[in-house]
Amino acid sequence: MILNLAGSLLYFIAAALCFMAAMRAQEGRKSVVWPLVGLVFVALAATRISGAEEMARDWLREILREDGAYAIRRQIQAPIAVAALVIALAVAALVWRYAIRARRLPSARSRVVAIIGALAMVLLLALRIISLHVVDAVLYRGLHLNWFIDGGATLAVAWAGWFHPIAQEREAAARERHRKARKREG
């Protein structure tokens, strides 16, 4: 219970920083990233506080039991887990493409970090709900990779939301200095 509350608090902090970045964003439609990522983290907090993840996992297991497919659940879960990973990799490839095409500005990089962090959290949530035995063994045993992914992605998104307005202010100051220098030369 304490871990759920602590995790939810971190999600809310990350969401708040994303919403603050959205309010201070200067780039028009690209600022859509921040409210969307913020909403993802609000939803993650609500899911964690309400126990919706456990309810969804139990609901899926019950459906498999009712259909008599619980004994072969791994054969059903594996393609779903693979599909989730393929979708995540495809989205990651699109984000990577955007990152390469972006103007190598720190503010663009902070958006990419936020998108990747939100994507990692959604994928982690999907894998935890699917609860494939092999995946669970990797996520929950030993080093608890689950905690590293969850905490790392959340902290990365929080950092990106905090850093984004700072990066934009620096970029605006650099553009202004460049404009003044060209004006003096011309």
State which residues form the domain around 89: 2-185
Amino acid 103: pLDDT: 62
CA-nearest of 3, 5, 37, 8 to 114 is 37
What's the mean per-residue pLDDT of the chain?
84
Amino acid 122: pLDDT: 92
- Residue 92 vs residues 98, 118, 147, 156: alpha-carbon distances, Å: 10, 11, 21, 16
- The whole-angstrom separation of Cα 177 and Cα 35 is 31
- pLDDT, tens digit, 9 for 90 and up, residues 89-148: 888 787 777 777 666 678 888 888 899 899 999 988 888 887 766 677 777 777 778 888
- pLDDT, tens digit, 9 for 90 and up, residues 61-88: 788 778 776 667 677 777 877 887 788 7
- The whole-angstrom separation of Cα 129 and Cα 125 is 6
Quick check: 34 pLDDT over 60? yes
The pTM for the full model equals 0.81
Quick check: 37 pLDDT over 60? yes
Q: Is the dihedral of CA 165, 169, 170, 171 positive or negative?
A: positive
Quick check: 9 pLDDT over 90? yes
Amino acid 19: pLDDT: 95
Amino acid 36: pLDDT: 95
- Band of the pLDDT at 10, cuts 50, 70, 90? very high
Question: What's the structural domain count of the chain?
Answer: 1
- Band of the pLDDT at 155, cuts 50, 70, 90? very high
